[in-house]
Amino acid sequence: HLTGRKLRDKVYRWHSGYIGGLREVRAETMLKTHPERVIEWAVQGMLPKNRLGRAMAKKLKVYRGAAHPHQAQQPVVMPASTKSEVR
């Protein structure tokens, strides 16, 4: 979840590689169309910017909703913790 006015104000930018190919999408639109991409880009931003980081990012699997093709994996929903619970 995004807090405050980030839904409206946060902008995701990327370049297509062509002249004038800068693309911009607001977080609100991105969450409606590609919610898994928001998580992927957030995690990639935290990884190292080198070969190892790219290899780690390839292993990340994010799915929309609870359905996934991995039969052996049975994920458990963990409640979000607050600052007081962390201490």
**Residue 83: inside a domain:** no
User: Looking at the predicted structure, is the pLDDT value of residue 81 above 90?
Assistant: no
Report pLDDT for 87. Answer: 58
**Residue 71: inside a domain:** no
Q: Which of 76, 6, 75, 64 is nearest to 37 (CA)?
A: 64
Q: How many domains is the chain built from?
A: 1
What is the reported pTM?
Answer: 0.73
How far is residue 70's CA from residue 34's CA, in Å, rounded to a whole number? 21
User: Looking at the predicted structure, is the pLDDT value of residue 73 above 80?
Assistant: no
Report pLDDT for 18. Answer: 98
Domain holding 24, by residue range, is: 5-62
**Which tens digits make up the pLDDT trace of 15-38?**
999 999 999 999 999 999 999 999
Q: Encoding tokens for residue 2? A: 């995004």
**Residue 12: inside a domain:** yes
Measured over the CA atoms of residue 21, residue 36, residue 62 and residue 52, the dihedral's sign is positive
- The CATH number assigned to the domain holding 50 equals 3.90.1180.10
